[in-house]
């Protein structure tokens, strides 16, 4: 799970406009499930103006009182790292979270349109970058805690922007790449189907059945082994762990889909009971830098060895953020046949890539993945939450009960039909 | 005085980039005169990203601690008027001013990049528009009061955007229009001169000499008469009125230029001592609608008759905002040879047009145009402040002393050399 728009006609311009409208409607009606009289904050990159306006229109038509769009310009972040004084890089305005906290109090729904240049921070000073990210996370901690507790509705959806699209489709010209990535977004979010809202309901029901069966089993641990990929890892699950996925409910009982697309079920590992080797099956993006060929060894829940063929220093710096950065906060199961996985592309974007493969996350566990107190249940805490993919088409996963008995959960990257009813 | 970016190469691309950089530097160094260790908030339309980034770079290089850019999307405002419920149109979030007030407390400088579609609100429901503008002004009153009291540094500069440029240059293609408007901006802000900072100093000194002489004279009233244009108006000046212009000082003593361009000197009329007829010499833009052929008659300080060949209903609605909306809050003198006037164009933009002609403003007087208490001095108050131009190349202005003696201030639209030393 991840918690963090220019337009180019793909087929006919008319089709694109129609799909973009349906996509906006999906984000408003299914993603944040906006209630009449509700308020909406949209976080969007500058390129997302067209989609943001369609979202605002959908929201007002659904009876919204107010829609505020906060446009952000990622290049300003890069510019600060490159041009500002050390004092300025270490300065995060103390008022930064206040408006958002006030909106949370007022019951705003939060929609984030996610689309950015994966190479934005390439070559930037990594110490400045790490310091800036850490200080920002500290100042914004109250906001992320309230979001993670679902005090309000929120959803993250994707948007195709040139820099991202060209990274995913380097063989295409910029306009074609933007179109191709839009087609991916419409496909994996089912905005290209005749009745996207019905298609989503069906999808959510199926994923919900897997989640509910896993919750009924109460496994003590998961064992991942992948003869081809090299992973052989036992992930102890937290006491009182809760499997989540598909949809969530806000404190007020509104059903939302926090990530679109979403094809994962996930829960909380025990911070001290992880051991073995995990090999990343895809590159990951850490603070703007690509980390490739990552291989990590755990003992007693902690990373004791980590190596990478690219970006190793960045990954090691991430581990040093705080004590919890070396331990797991999430384990997630995704089949190799999920829509994002089917494209066979690397998207350099967590929202997409984490829905293409089973994955782990270093750092903070989500409060809602526990039935009791997170800390007492063995849950992890940290300023970071960094997903990385280990799933492949040769991945096997067993559920291990407290008495050591095992059940097949995944075989060759797909749900094991002998254990799970779909 | 007014208190409220795309890039297209004009000549060579290199020249444009260089002038845009110099312009950014001017706004930071002269406009808000950013101090080392200071903070900056930039308000900018979506099209202003390129200039906003150059401003941020200049600010960080000048030692800024933090630069925040708030991008706004004017189309969202139009969309709300068109699509939202009545309840939503009447809803302004109470938290709206809080972040800005907090920034004011923290001593932020505020730079507004002004460039919008003059026809944005054409055809929109004028009652909804007026209600929305009025409620917003009420919620934001504390902010505008603090700005008007120069508690912090602020400046408004212009940016060429396609919709505005095409309105000013309807005979040109869009790219050419954007370039032509950029050339105007660079010319009237002196960003096209070899040493823009020195050119500004010279300009400010000259305008300051006019301002200082007017302050020394202590006129009781101004008499405007324009045989060709039809204006014949006596504007009584407030007791303790102060002539302002060219530059201002913040509470902390920082010298700023709040409007770029600026070619006016201005002061506060007496709210009850205005009589005669004022004929607008240019169309004005009221809440997004063009008002043309405006002719207004005053008695006892109040508008008693107003007619227009276009937009009359909008103007009459403006007068009904509150009691002070029918009285004057500003009178300003601008020569017919000022750089903006020389272009001969109508810019459909207050920042430009008010620096092309002597003008009046209905509504709120600026606190700093009084040497004593504004209300006791006969100053006006209102939620609105609406400038409209009366100056022409045939305008004459006399300064009238308390004993009735007169001195020539302007003849044929230019300063009268027999009275004023330039």
ipTM: 0.85
Give the chain B residue nearest A73 (alpha carbons).
B49
Pairing type for strands B39-45 and B154-158 reads: unpaired
Alpha-carbon distance B186 to nearest alpha carbon in chain A (angstroms): 24
| Pairs across A and B, CB distance < 8 A | 102
Q: Write down the pLDDT at residue A13.
A: 62
Output the average pLDDT for chain B: 93
For residue A122, give both structure tokens: 């390439």
Give the range among A113-117, A126-130, A245-249, B9-13 with minimum mean pLDDT: B9-13
d(CA B43, CA B172): 28
Taking the CA atoms of residue B185, residue B262, residue B326 and residue B224 in that order, the dihedral angle to the nearest 10 degrees is -110
Confidence of residue B10 (pLDDT cuts 50, 70, 90): very low
Q: When comparing pLDDT for B287 and B184, which is higher?
A: B184
Q: Write down the pLDDT at residue A12.
A: 58
What is the average per-residue pLDDT within A379-408?
Answer: 95
> Taking the mean position of all CA atoms in its chain, how far away is CA A299?
26
pLDDT for A5 beyond 70? no
Q: What is the pLDDT of residues A157-181, one digit of tens each?
A: 999 999 999 999 999 999 999 999 9
For residue A263, give both structure tokens: 């094809």
pLDDT for B313 beyond 70? yes
d(CA A269, CA A356): 20
Closest Cβ opposite residue B88 in set A65, A83, A91: A65
d(CA B77, CA B128): 11
Q: What is the pLDDT of residues A328-369, one digit of tens each?
A: 999 999 999 999 988 888 898 889 988 999 999 999 999 889
Helices (H) and strands (E) in chain A, counts: 13, 22
What is the average per-residue pLDDT within B139-159?
Answer: 95
pLDDT for A7 beyond 80? no
Q: Under 8 Å CB-to-CB from B14, ≥6 apart: which residues?
A: none
Alpha-carbon distance B205 to nearest alpha carbon in chain A (angstroms): 33
Domains assigned to chain B: 3-192 (3.40.1830.10), 217-415 (no CATH)
Q: Under 8 Å CB-to-CB from B138, ≥6 apart: which residues?
A: B92, B383
Give residue for tokens 């295409």: A172
Give the rounded percent of residues in chain A with a pLDDT score beyond 90.
86
CB contacts, 8 Å: A97 with chain B? none
Q: Write down the pLDDT at residue A289.
A: 82
DSSP per position, B219-257: -SEEEEE-TTT--EEEEEEPTTB--EESBEE-TT--EE-
CB atoms within 10 A of CB A5: 25
Alpha-carbon distance A35 to nearest alpha carbon in chain B (angstroms): 14
d(CA A316, CA A303): 10
For residue A259, give both structure tokens: 């990530």
How much of chain A is in helix, strand and coil states, percent to nearest 5?
Answer: 35, 25, 40
Backbone dihedral region for residue A259 (phi beyond 0: left; psi -120 to 50: alpha; all else: beta): beta
Alpha-carbon distance B248 to nearest alpha carbon in chain A (angstroms): 27
- Side-chain-side CA neighbours of A201 within 13 Å: the count stands at 6
Give the rounded percent of residues in chain B with a pLDDT score beyond 90.
86
Element (H, E) at B205: helix B196-217
For residue A44, give both structure tokens: 């969007």
What is the average per-residue pLDDT within B354-375?
Answer: 94
Compute CA distances A71 → A47, A111, B109, whole Å. 9, 12, 20
d(CA B81, CA B129): 7
Give residue for tokens 């799909």: A19
Do B275 and B234 form a contact (C-beta atoms < 8 A)? yes
Residues of A in CB contact (< 8 Å) with B are 37, 39, 46, 49, 52-53, 56-57, 60-61, 63-69, 71-73, 75-76, 79-80, 83-85, 87-88, 91, 93, 95, 98-99, 102-103, 106
CB contacts, 8 Å: B84 with chain A? 60, 64
Burial class (CB within 10 angstroms; exposed 0-12, middle 13-18, buried 19+) of A2? buried
Q: Write down the pLDDT at residue B50.
A: 96
* Contact flag B98-A103 (C-beta cutoff 8 Å): no
pLDDT for A38 beyond 60? yes
Do B260 and B154 form a contact (C-beta atoms < 8 A)? no
* Contact flag B46-A84 (C-beta cutoff 8 Å): no
Give the range among B161-165, B225-229, B342-346 with minimum mean pLDDT: B342-346
Give the chain A residue nearest B51 (alpha carbons).
A76
For residue A66, give both structure tokens: 């107010």
The candidate with the shortest Cα–Cα distance to A127, out of A81, A85, A187, A172, is A81
Q: What is the pLDDT of residues B69-121, one digit of tens each?
A: 999 999 999 999 999 999 999 999 999 999 999 999 999 999 999 999 988 99
Give residue for tokens 């074609």: A176
d(CA B54, CA B70): 15
* Contact flag B79-A87 (C-beta cutoff 8 Å): no
CB contacts, 8 Å: A163 with chain B? none
Confidence of residue A285 (pLDDT cuts 50, 70, 90): confident
Give the chain B residue nearest A91 (alpha carbons).
B65
Q: What is the pLDDT of residues A8-22, one digit of tens each?
A: 444 456 689 999 999
Compute CA distances A204 → A265, A333, B311, whole Å. 11, 15, 54
Residues of B in CB contact (< 8 Å) with A are 37, 39, 46, 49, 52-53, 56-57, 60-61, 63-69, 71-73, 75-76, 79-80, 83-85, 87-88, 91, 93, 95, 98-99, 102-103, 106
Q: Write down the pLDDT at residue A28.
A: 97
d(CA B320, CA A88): 48
Alpha-carbon distance B127 to nearest alpha carbon in chain A (angstroms): 18
How many residues can be counted in chain B?
422
Do B268 and B379 form a contact (C-beta atoms < 8 A)? yes
What is the average per-residue pLDDT within A315-337?
Answer: 96
A234 forms beta bridges with A223, A275
d(CA A300, CA B313): 76
pLDDT for B13 beyond 90? no
Predicted TM-score (pTM) of this structure: 0.87
Q: What are phi and psi of B14, to 5 degrees?
A: -65, -45
pLDDT for B12 beyond 70? no
pLDDT for B255 beyond 60? yes
For residue B346, give both structure tokens: 């109508």
Do A338 and A371 form a contact (C-beta atoms < 8 A)? no
């Amino acid at each position: 799970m991840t918690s963090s728009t220019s337009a180019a006609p793909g087929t006919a311009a008319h089709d694109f406009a129609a799909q973009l409208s349906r996509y906006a409607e999906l984000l408003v009606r299914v993603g944040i499930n906006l209630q009449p009289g509700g308020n909406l904050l949209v976080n969007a990159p500058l390129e997302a103006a067209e989609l943001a306006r369609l979202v605002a229109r959908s929201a007002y038509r659904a009876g919204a009182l107010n829609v505020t769009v906060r446009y952000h310009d990622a290049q300003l972040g890069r510019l600060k790292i490159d041009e500002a004084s050390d004092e300025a890089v270490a300065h995060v305005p103390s008022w930064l979270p206040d408006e958002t906290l006030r909106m949370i109090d007022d019951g705003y729904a939060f929609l984030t349109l996610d689309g950015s240049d994966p190479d934005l921070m390439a070559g930037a000073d990594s110490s400045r970058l790490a310091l800036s990210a850490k200080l920002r996370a500290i100042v914004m901690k109250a906001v992320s805690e309230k979001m993670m507790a679902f005090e309000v509705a929120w959803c993250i959806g994707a948007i195709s922007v040139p820099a991202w699209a060209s990274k995913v489709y380097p063989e295409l010209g910029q306009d074609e790449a933007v179109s191709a990535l839009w087609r991916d977004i419409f496909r994996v979010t089912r905005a290209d189907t005749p009745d996207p809202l019905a298609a989503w309901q069906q999808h959510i029901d199926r994923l919900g059945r897997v989640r509910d069966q896993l919750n009924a089993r109460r496994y003590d641990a998961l064992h991942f082994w992948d003869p081809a990929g090299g992973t052989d890892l036992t992930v102890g699950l937290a006491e009182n762990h809760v499997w989540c996925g598909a949809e969530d409910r806000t404190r007020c009982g509104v059903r939302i889909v926090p990530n679109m697309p979403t094809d994962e079920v996930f829960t909380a590992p025990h911070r001290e009971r992880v051991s073995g080797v995990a090999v990343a099956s895809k590159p990951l993006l850490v603070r703007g830098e690509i980390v490739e060929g990552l291989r990590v060894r755990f003992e007693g829940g902690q990373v004791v060895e980590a190596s990478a063929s690219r970006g190793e220093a960045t990954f090691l710096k991430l581990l040093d953020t705080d004590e919890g950065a070396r331990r797991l906060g999430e384990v997630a199961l995704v089949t190799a046949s999920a829509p994002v996985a089917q494209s066979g592309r690397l998207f350099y974007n967590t929202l997409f890539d984490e829905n293409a493969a089973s994955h782990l996350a270093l750092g903070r566990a989500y409060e809602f993945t526990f039935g009791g107190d997170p800390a007492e249940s063995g849950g992890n805490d940290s300023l970071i939450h960094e997903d990385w993919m280990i799933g492949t088409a040769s991945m096997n996963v067993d559920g291990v009960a407290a008495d050591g008995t095992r059940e097949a959960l995944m075989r060759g990257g797909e749900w094991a039909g002998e254990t799970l009813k779909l």
